[in-house]
Chains A and B, each alone.
Chain A
Amino acid sequence: MDLAILWFVIIAVLWTGYLVLEGFDFGVGMLLSILPRGGKEQRDKERRVLINTIGPVWDGNEVWLLTAGGATFAAFPEWYATMFSGFYLPLLIILLGLVARGVAFEYRGKISDARWARRCDLAIQAGSWIPAVMWGVAFGNLVRGLLLDGDHQYVGGFWALLNPFALLGGLTTLVLFLLHGSVFVALKTDGDLRERAGRLASALSLVALTVAGGWAVWAQVAYATAWTWVAVAVAALALVGVVVAARARREGWAFTLSAVAIASAVVLIFGSMYPEVIPALDGGESLTVAEAASTPYTLTVMTWVAVVLTPLVIAYQAWTYWVFRRRLSSKDIPAPAGLSWQKIKDAAF
């Protein structure tokens, strides 16, 4: 098999890993103000339940993004260069979201103060909603194609990225991640919170089926090739499955199927791009897999590295999910252990 094609597949796999795993992280972050109920204290406890469902794993999930970026750089330098410089502003916005969210996860509990917690919750929510939309916008544009000049430089500018197809793509990832997150919360929590998450998942599954289904059909009809109908069909069936499983509160099945739906969306996206990595609009010169690829030598080296390390990574990452498999509820959450706001203020320089 052509190594460049293999690496195109590997990049798709890495993005699948990223979007499936950080997809529910985004979902949990977005639900931070939606799911919790009750008095002030109870709401804060439930927010902490939500954060702690992903506390030990969110950073590992995000490494899939770094790996996808690094692997694209190594295996397809031209793709990396054109895509990252072309998507400069969207990537900057995503990145700022990820920064705010990561810091807020880690620092929220370091200070025990209601105002501090609210600020961190805001950062977590902004850092979840914004990237959840932006990833869909970015991938929508890759499916639709970009304005490229003869040197494969993006010349369309920022506003051209906000076209209807890409914006619907943004809405699609948003809804998919919200659904994925609520299904995950239902799977990982207990008690009333679990029930609320289950109800929300059940409602969201219908919205997701409509929005994602609509976008997938649009993408398929306008931009994709015949075989990707399979991906559209699998995604649709999986989402129908989520509707059924969420209604029946079969949380394990619902989670598995919403993961399948996200994975199928990635297959559709990459399948529609192939044999190009960036299709060009308006008769411009598309960047193809073959043109963008590194030399066979580099790809061979990277193949060995990926073949040895990827199964290992999946194994130990999966193992930590097993270690932290316990469902959480607000009675599991210990009293805040951070320092008081006064103490932090006193420490000023």
Chain B
Amino acid sequence: MDALALARWQFAITTVYHFIFVPLTIGLAPLVAGMQTAWVVTKKERWLRLTKFFGKLLLINFALGVVTGIWQEFQFGMAWSEYSRFVGDVFGAPLAMEALAAFFVESVFLGLWIFGWDRVSKKVHLAAIWLFALATNLSAFFILAANSWMQHPVGTIYNEETGRAEMESIGAVLTNNTLWAAFPHTITAAFLTAGTFVCGIATWWMVRLVRSKKPENVEKARTVYRPAVLVGVWTMIIAGAGVIWSGDLQGKLMYEQQPGKMSSAEALCEGTEAAEFSILAVGPLYAGCEDVDHLISVPGVTSFLGTGHFSGPESYLPGVYDVQEQYTERYGDVTAAGEPVTYTPPLAITYWSFRLMIGLAVFSLALALTALWATRKGRVSDNVWLGRLGILAIPMPFLACSFGWIFTEVGRQPWVVAPNPTGIDQVRLLTERGVSTAVPPGVILTSMIVLTLVYAVLAVVWYRLMHRYTVEGVPDVVRDESPEAQDPDDADRPLSFAY
């Protein structure tokens, strides 16, 4: 493999890996903050126990998000230096803002939250987790501002002399309509992930306790886990609606801004009105859209996703061939080898990742509805299948998030910066032009192998800790309410928490 292929694989592996931890942190942090708020307001101990339980899982998860995040920022310069030279004037700003506005708040106030249970007042401590939760979401905003600019560069001019993109308006970059669809989509997907996580775990625990038939266990299921089930259910329902709404918004923008991505999501060869949504296709997708048989399709749905019309002339969607023709005429790029560029992403990946992103939501839907039914009117459930569904559903939104990003990023190919159809044509960059020229392939191969191995080991540790701390269940909370315990300056008292 050449440096380009290696750098692309490395980016894919490390980014997909990093984004296992990110959506759970973004969604779970506000939920834990909500649970702690419920405790502070109602003084009911169950909310404190749930805060500690899900808070611990949040911390185990966040640690890996942090350490894998450093590489994310570094690898643009390390492996994609020519990309960095071309875009740095625009792309660097949101990254620097993310660090200054979000990362500092996240790390400082999370430290305060972890170690501050008895060091600061209850209100300050509660504010710490809220600031952390807000900052994780703010960080998503800035990194999505950067990514949305790659999907749809706005507020940018091209400098003929230096051959680089230059920022003309930070306002335009931060109000990019692509960003304002991608941000709610990512955030609601993160809440769906966290909602499924909380509901899945709490449902499994509820069923397990009720099945033991011991009165104190059934009581615990009713008073502690049932509320958590409902927190998860309502998070899933609200976030799920948000995912659909924002996803629809994105579909319409994609049709305008990256028509090739839309047609490649469907493996649609020729432009057509009333484009069908293919549910199952067979055939050699890797070879193009030519010999693909769409076995099951729903009429008009893809047209609706892109245009808002099921049929008629307004529902026209261009096919892969139309986009190839248009782009060749307008941009006419050639590869390093002198060949004309193929403006079609790998269809097997775009087609299936798009379907998996959407389809995997079925599990969250099923869990939300059954758990809501099983807990109606104060009930708890001992249905073992409900517990199993809870566990089964947990990984599904994680996978859906991954497939969503794989679709977004692979669907943009062959561009790393896709041209804006209504913008300046020169503000575009082929992925193959972005890779570092000063780094030999062997070096990238080395880092790819080392990072993959290290990440694999960390994944095992992460999984075991998450699993085991889940099986431990909510902790018993004994609060020392004596006046000595409340004095933060008492030097003789051992720390209530230490690493």
Where the two chains meet, the residues of A that have a C-beta atom closer than 8 Å to any C-beta of B are: 48, 51-52, 55-60, 62-63, 65-67, 69-78, 80-89, 91-92, 95-96, 98-100, 102-103, 105-111, 151, 153-155, 158, 294-295, 297-298, 301-302, 305-306, 309-310, 313, 316-317, 320, 323-324, 326-328, 331-334, 337, 339, 343-344, 346-349
Contacts and interface: CB of A to CB of B under 8 A. Distances in A.
B438 A298 contact: no
Nearest to B87: A77
Contacts of B89: 77, 294-295, 298
Given A60-B111, A73-B96, A75-B92, A95 B74 contact: yes
B91 interface: yes
Interface stretch (B113-121, B367-375, B408-416): B113-121
A273 to B, nearest CB: 18
Nearest to A55: B499
B306 to A, nearest CB: 34
Interface string B432-456: 0000111100010011001000100
A103 B104 contact: no
Interface stretch (B32-40, B58-66, B270-278, B329-337): B58-66
Given A65-B70, A320-B112, A96 B450 contact: yes
A67 B78 contact: no
Contacts of B496: 334
B3 to A, nearest CB: 11
Interface string B90-122: 111101111111011101111110111001100
Chain B interface residue bracket vs A: 35 or more
Nearest to A116: B461
B494 A323 contact: no
B93 A298 contact: yes
Interface stretch (B42-50, B162-170, B197-205, B476-484): B162-170
Interface of B: 59-60, 63-64, 66-71, 73-74, 76-79, 81-82, 84-85, 87-93, 95-101, 103-105, 107-112, 114-116, 119-120, 164, 166-168, 170, 436-439, 443, 446-447, 450, 454, 458, 461, 464-465, 467-469, 471-472, 491, 494-499
A299 B111 CA distance: 32
A51 B91 CA distance: 37
Contacts of B79: 85, 88
B78 A347 contact: no
A80 B86 CA distance: 12
Contacts of A80: 76-77, 84, 88, 92
Contact of B499 (A78, A102, A105): A105
Contact of B74 (A84, A89, A108, A310): A84
B8 to A, nearest CB: 16
B450 to A, nearest CB: 7
A103 B468 CA distance: 17
A298 B96 CA distance: 12
Contacts of B88: 73-74, 76-78, 80-81, 294
B107 A60 contact: yes
A107 B465 contact: yes
Contacts of B458: 99, 103
B479 to A, nearest CB: 15
A77 B112 CA distance: 34
A305 B167 contact: no
Given A66-B70, A297-B168, 11 more contacts: A56-B112, A80-B77, A85-B436, A95-B71, A98-B70, A108-B499, A298-B90, A310-B100, A316-B109, A317-B108, A337-B497
B138 to A, nearest CB: 12
A48 B77 CA distance: 37
A324 B488 CA distance: 10
Contact of A298 (B119, B166, B468): B166
Top 4 closest pairs, chain A to chain B, by CB: A77-B88, A84-B77, A74-B92, A73-B92
A99 B68 CA distance: 7
Which of A57, A84, A328 has the most CB atoms of chain B within a 10 A radius of its CB? A84
Contacts of A333: 494-495, 498
Contacts of B120: 323
Contacts of A74: 88, 92-93, 95-96
Contacts of B93: 74, 298, 301-302, 305
Contact of B104 (A56, A63, A83): A63
Nearest to B82: A81
Contacts of A91: 74, 78
Contacts of B494: 331-334
B84 A51 contact: no
A56 B497 CA distance: 11
A342 B495 CA distance: 26
A85 B438 contact: yes
B97 A305 contact: yes
B91 A347 contact: no
Contact of A344 (B109, B166, B450, B464): B464
A158 B170 CA distance: 38
